[in-house]
Amino acid sequence: MKKHNFYAGPAILPESVKKAASEAAYDYKGTGLSLMEVSHRGDDFVEILDNTEKYVRKLLKVSDDYAVLFLTGGASSQFYMTAFNLYNPDDKVGYVDTGTWSTKAIKEASAFADIETLASSKDKNFSYIPRGYKIPKDLKYLHLTSNNTIYGTQTKEWAKTSAPIICDMSSDIFSRELPLKKFGLIYAGAQKNVGLAGVTLVIVKKELLGKTEWHIPTMLDYRTHIAKNSSFNTPPVFSIYVTMLNLEWVLEQGGVKAMEKRNTAKAKLLYDEIDNNPLFVGTVAKEDRSPMNVTFLLKDNTKDAAFIKKCTEAGIVGIKGHRSVGGFRASMYNAMDISSTQVLVDVMKAFK
Amino acid sequence: MKKHNFYAGPAILPESVKKAASEAAYDYKGTGLSLMEVSHRGDDFVEILDNTEKYVRKLLKVSDDYAVLFLTGGASSQFYMTAFNLYNPDDKVGYVDTGTWSTKAIKEASAFADIETLASSKDKNFSYIPRGYKIPKDLKYLHLTSNNTIYGTQTKEWAKTSAPIICDMSSDIFSRELPLKKFGLIYAGAQKNVGLAGVTLVIVKKELLGKTEWHIPTMLDYRTHIAKNSSFNTPPVFSIYVTMLNLEWVLEQGGVKAMEKRNTAKAKLLYDEIDNNPLFVGTVAKEDRSPMNVTFLLKDNTKDAAFIKKCTEAGIVGIKGHRSVGGFRASMYNAMDISSTQVLVDVMKAFK
Note the ipTM here.
0.98
Nearest CA in chain B to A39: B10
Give the domain A15-253 fold. Aspartate Aminotransferase; domain 2 (3.40.640)
Instruction: Please report which confidence band the pLDDT of residue B352 belongs to, taking 50, 70 and 90 as the band edges.
Output: confident
Q: Does B111 touch chain A (CB under 8 A)?
A: yes
Burial of residue B42 (CB within 10 Å: 0-12, 13-18, 19+) is middle
DSSP letter string, A136-190:
-TT-SEEEEESEETTTTEE--S----SSPEEEE-TTTTTSS---GGGEEEEEEET
pLDDT over 90 at A352, yes or no: no
The arithmetic mean of pLDDT across residues A338-349, rounded, is 98
Interface of B with A in 296-315 (CB under 8 A): 315
pLDDT over 90 at A170, yes or no: yes
Q: Which of A11, A39, A84 sits opposite B10 (nearest CB)?
A: A39
pLDDT, tens digit, for every residue of A133-151? 999 999 999 999 999 999 9
Give the domain A4-10+254-350 fold. Aspartate Aminotransferase, domain 1 (3.90.1150)
- DSSP 8-class letter at B207: G
pLDDT over 90 at A48, yes or no: yes
pLDDT, tens digit, for every residue of B8-33? 999 999 999 999 999 999 999 999 99
Cα–Cα distances (Å) from B229 to A262, B39, B68, B71, B232, in that order, read 37, 15, 9, 10, 7
Nearest CA to CA, how far is A62 from chain B (Å)?
26
CA terminus-to-terminus distance, chain A = 24
Interface of B with A in 71-100 (CB under 8 A): 72-77, 79-80, 84
pLDDT, tens digit, for every residue of A269-326? 999 999 999 999 999 999 999 999 999 999 999 999 999 999 999 999 999 999 999 9
pLDDT over 90 at B166, yes or no: yes
CATH architecture group of domain B4-12+256-350: Alpha-Beta Complex (3.90)
* Largest Cα–Cα separation, chain A: 62
Say what the pLDDT of residue A185 is: 98
Helix axes A43-60, A255-276, angle to 10 degrees: 60
- The stretches of B88-210 forming alpha helices (DSSP H) are 100-110
pLDDT, tens digit, for every residue of A276-285? 999 999 999 9
Q: Does B231 touch chain A (CB under 8 A)?
A: no
How many whole angstroms separate alpha carbon A127 and alpha carbon A148? Answer: 10
Nearest CA in chain B to A75: B233
What are the residues whose beta carbons fall under 8 Å from the beta carbon of A259, sequence distance 6 or more? A174, A175, A176, A250, A253, A334
Closest by CA to A80, choosing from A113, A46, A49, is A113
- What is the interface size between A and B, counted as CB pairs within 8 Å? 204
Give, for B282, the enclosing helix (H) or strand (E).
Answer: strand B280-282
Instruction: Please report which confidence band the pLDDT of residue A31 belongs to, taking 50, 70 and 90 as the band edges.
Output: very high
CB contact under 8 A, B111 and A198: no
How many whole angstroms separate alpha carbon B135 and alpha carbon B132? Answer: 9
pTM of the model: 0.98
Interface of A with B in 139-168 (CB under 8 A): none
CB contact under 8 A, A5 and B37: yes
pLDDT over 90 at B315, yes or no: yes
The arithmetic mean of pLDDT across residues B38-47, rounded, is 97
pLDDT, tens digit, for every residue of A192-223? 999 999 999 999 999 999 999 999 999 999 99
Contact B230, B39 (CB under 8 A): no
Domain ranges of chain A: 4-10+254-350, 15-253
The arithmetic mean of pLDDT across residues A8-19, rounded, is 98
How many whole angstroms separate alpha carbon B259 and alpha carbon B292? Answer: 11
CA dihedral B13, B16, B21, B26 (to 10 degrees): 140
Question: Buried b / exposed e across B140-166, counting CB within 10 Å, b at 16+?
Answer: bbbbbbbbbbbbbbbbeeebebebbbb
Mean pLDDT of chain B: 97
Overall residue count recorded for chain B in this entry? 352
CA terminus-to-terminus distance, chain B = 24
